[in-house]
Amino acid sequence: MDIRKLRHVALLAETLHFVRAAERAHLTQSALSRSIQSLENTLGLRLFDRQHGTGGVSLTAAGRQLLERARPLLRTANDLDRDMRLLRDASLGELPVGVGPFPAVTLMPAVLASLQQTHPGLSVSLQVDHADALRALLEADRIELFVAQTRSLPREGLDVRPLVVQKANVFCRAAHPLARRRKLALADIAGQRVASVHLPDAGRDALWRTTGLPAETSMALVCDNVYLLKDFARRSDVLLVCTEESLAAELANGEFVRLPLAGLRPVEVGVNIVTRKGRTLSPGAALLIERLGQAAAGGASRSRRGAIDLRGGR
């Protein structure tokens, strides 16, 4: 069955006139007539009795039966056409994506809210995890893309697009005993315990080396939920390793402070958008990437006017 020809049958059955049906189908009368006749020849049945000289028609018994069976097919085809248009415009569909701990709290909330406002029919399924776990989900086709720090991640088979650079540092709650000291030496933080997101061995070693934290620093909590990490550090005397951007509100209101350690330097954390090479992105994924770029650019612009310096990703 040719859906196009069935649509022509339905239009002719509604108007019972070739000229009016052709106008609604945006065809010439002769083209519509050929379409109807072609279907009749294929079926070996006459669907319409022609009123010669007037252009009028009436349905035959076979035409009525065909139309009764064709209407559900045409409704389904129309629904499919509509859904594909909505999918093309990212107004419908499911979008499974992954995100690392820091962009989950700095970039994603505003981006997801923006998508909900402009594309409420788009359903986003979000997995928050570290880059190694997100890569496994991407390769298993369980997510379409992820946004995370990927410095130590093997890039074979991946397209990695720089998004933004954030700055990691060591913080503690304002009531922490060390926060009362104006200056700290490495000896002063010996034995302190740290709360942090999941870090690969190479990443942890680089962080310790760059910040000056002792290599033997022990982990009190490793968790990829930044909100939980912050609450844990808020209630205890652990040192919190996270990005300045993810702690911006707490730093601004004085709830947390940077560890006053002499020579302590922030570590640049490049946040990237990762997809699989050779894969065509869905319209929803392309829209998400566009909004992420806008959010990163807006954050960088605000940062140039404030204390935090966000530069382009690498």
Q: Where residue 218 falls among pLDDT bands split at 50, 70, 90? A: confident
Q: For the chain, what is the mean pLDDT? A: 85
Question: What topology does CATH give the domain 96-158+273-304?
Answer: D-Maltodextrin-Binding Protein; domain 2 (3.40.190)
CATH annotation of 165-268:
3.40.190.290
- pLDDT of 311 > 50? The answer is no
Domains 96-158+273-304 and 165-268 share a fold: yes
**31-40, 104-113, 183-192, range with the lowest pLDDT:** 183-192
pLDDT value for 105: 95
Tens-place pLDDT, residues 139-153: 999 999 999 988 777
The CATH code that applies to domain 3-88 is 1.10.10.10
Mean pLDDT (whole number) for 51-79: 89
For residues 104-121, average pLDDT: 92
For the chain, give every domain's residue range: 3-88, 96-158+273-304, 165-268
Cβ atoms 314, 165 nearer than 8 A: yes
